[in-house]
A = this chain, B = another copy of it.
Amino acid sequence: MNEVVELAKKAKEASHALSVASSRAKDAALHRMADDLVKSTDKILAENEKDMAAARERKISSAMMDRLLLTDERVKGMAEGLREVAALSDPVGEVIRGWRRPNGLLITRVRTTLGVIGMVFEARPNVVVDAAGLCLKAGSAALMRGGSEAIHSNIILARLLCEAATAAGMPDGCIQLIETTDRRAVMEMLKLNEYIDLVIPRGGHGLIQTVVDNSTIPVIKHFRGLTHTYVDAGADVGMAVAIVNNAKTQRPSTCNALETLLVHSKIAADALPPIAAKLRDAGVEIRGDEKVKVLAPDCVLAQEDDWSTEYLDLVISIKVVDDIEEAITHIRTYSSGLAEAIVTNDYAGASRFCAAVDSAAVYVNASIRFTDGGQFGLGAEIGITTDKIFPRGPMGLEALTSSKYVIYGEGQIRE
């Protein structure tokens, strides 16, 4: 696996020039990358077809097949994504804070590049393009490792992107893919602290756990989205129906879709029937506790397992709680720390919920489906993390940066 070390060294070398590249130069490279992807659509689709053929042979699920598939439209979409990243403002060099000390030293905290970002991901080839674009704009070299299912697509995409970037003046090694599908390559990569500054795994629970268990490099990760919405006693029922329905059904397969609904016992008789009716209309299976079953008799009785199950599907668990504290305790016990909401008209309740619920995003009177870098106005998103260490929540460009102190003096020495 000497190859991986060599790639990582090359990435580190490239990162020095990238760290001082101007925004103009980086944006020009991103546009060149977009142009070249579109121009090479035929070549990309031909390589993608090799992955599709192998997938058909292994009889993988149609959902997986769809994620793997590239089309004219999808290549154009990836190119458009790169142009959107070019349009974002450059985070590198931002002076985050600055102050003068009594001895005259001017201390500034400046946003810097990270260096080398390791990306480990599964099937979807578009991750190669997203990650390469975001890392480049953030001034870091990307060292990527994709799943074997998409290996032909990944290789052609990474090569095209790297060629385009270097043709536009970026350093060779700024975008690299580990082309071997040998699993030992990932293990090797995860120990290269000396060259890689951050690892971001994107994929299923198994992949992320493997990365966390084996990496000696800091890992930015997000395991699951076991999310909650709590309808408080004095909530507006119409608002509650709309928010719950949107959170559950607008795109149930995403991590920020709603999994468990908590309803205050005082409003349950008013709110549950219309909520249940709306969800049933959308084809959602309801698993409720005994109190829910009284108000929505055709629901399934929830089992203990249901409170800790991330359905990612048209299924919801519902529990009636006696007060906001019971809701907070339930959330503390079962939440994965991604996103929770309260629907309420009570000022003290909203305050208490926001203070006590420790999730990456806590909402008052809104759908948790907004938990997304684009929806927050952060621009393109490389992932969402529930880690307590910065960054927490949706990760935009800023999450791919570091900072340093730059201190300006006139000869000061320490007494």
**In the complex, A311 has a CB within 8 A of chain B:** no
Q: Are A218 and B216 in contact (CB under 8 A)?
A: no
Counting CB contacts under 8 A, is A412 at the interface? yes
Give Cα A411–Cα B367 distance, bound, in whole angstroms.
8
* Complex interface: stretch among A172-180, A236-244, A312-320: A236-244
Report how far A375 CA is from B101 CA in the complex, Å.
8
Do A370 and B246 form a contact, CB below 8 Å, given A358-B115, A388-B114, A390-B389? no
Judge whether A183 is part of the interface by a CB distance below 8 angstroms.
no
9 extra interface residue pairs, beta carbon distance < 8 Å, beyond A360-B404, A367-B412? A19-B358, A245-B413, A250-B414, A360-B405, A364-B408, A365-B410, A366-B410, A367-B413, A393-B403
Q: How far is the CB of A298 from chain B (nearest CB, A)?
A: 25
For residue A107, which residue of chain B has the nearest CB?
A: B376
Closest to A193 in B: B212
Q: Is the interface of A mostly helix, strand, loop or mixed?
A: mixed
Q: Which residues of B contact A330 (CB under 8 A)?
A: none
**Of A101, A213, A364, which is in contact with the most chain B CB atoms at under 10 Å from its CB?**
A364
Residue A402 at the B interface, CB < 8 A? yes
- Residue pairs across A and B with Cβ atoms less than 8 A apart, 23 shown, are A16-B332, A19-B355, A105-B370, A193-B212, A197-B388, A218-B388, A218-B389, A236-B411, A242-B411, A245-B413, A354-B406, A358-B404, A360-B404, A361-B404, A362-B404, A365-B410, A366-B407, A366-B409, A366-B411, A389-B402, A390-B402, A392-B402, A392-B403
Nearest residue, chain B, Cβ from A408: B364
Query: A220-254 CB contact bits vs B (8 Å, 1 = yes)?
Result: 00000000000000001001001101110010000
Q: In the complex, are the beta carbons of A216 and B213 less than 8 A apart?
A: yes
* B-contacting residues, A17-69, CB 8 Å: 19-20
- Minimum C-beta distance from A16 to chain B (A): 7
Q: A354-B406, A370-B105, A405-B393 are in contact. Are A377 and B99 (CB under 8 A)?
A: yes
* Top-5 shortest CB links A-B: A366-B409, A390-B390, A246-B413, A369-B414, A239-B411
Q: Is A198 an interface residue (CB 8 A)?
A: yes
CB distance from A105 to the nearest CB of B (A): 6
Q: How far is the CB of A23 from chain B (nearest CB, A)?
A: 13
A100 to chain B minimum Cβ distance, whole angstroms, is 9
Binary flags per residue of A371-415, CB closer than 8 Å to B gives 1, else 0: 000011100000000011111111000000011111111111110
Q: A187: CB under 8 A from chain B?
A: no
Structural contact, A390 and B391, CB atoms closer than 8 A: yes
Measured between beta carbons, the chain B residues less than 8 angstroms from A403 are: 390, 392-393
- Whole-angstrom distance between the Cβ of A362 and the nearest chain B Cβ: 5
Q: Say whether A356 faces chain B, with CB atoms less than 8 Å apart.
A: yes
Minimum CB distance partner of A240 in chain B:
B411
- Which A residues lie at the B interface, using CB under 8 A? 16, 19-20, 99, 101, 105, 107, 109, 112-115, 193, 197-198, 212-213, 216, 218-219, 236, 239, 242-243, 245-247, 250, 332, 354-356, 358-367, 369-370, 375-377, 387-394, 402-414
The docked-state distance in angstroms from the alpha carbon of A362 to that of B114 is 16
Give complex CA distance A60, B392 in Å: 45
User: Are B414 and A402 in touch, CB under 8 angstroms?
Assistant: no
Q: Which residue of B lies closest to A378 (CB)?
A: B107
A242 touching B413 in the complex, CB below 8 Å, given contacts A388-B115, A390-B402: yes
A195 to chain B, nearest CB (A): 12
> A413 touching B243 by the CB < 8 A rule?
yes
Q: Nearest chain B CB to A399's CB is how many angstroms away? A: 9
Nearest-neighbour CB distance to chain B for A143, whole angstroms, equals 15
Residues of B within 8 A of A107 (CB): 376-377
Most B CB within 10 A of own CB, among A19, A99, A107: A107
Chain B: CB-nearest residue to A13: B332
B99 touches A404 (CB 8 A): no
Among A19, A193, A370, residue most surrounded by chain B Cβ atoms (within 10 Å): A370
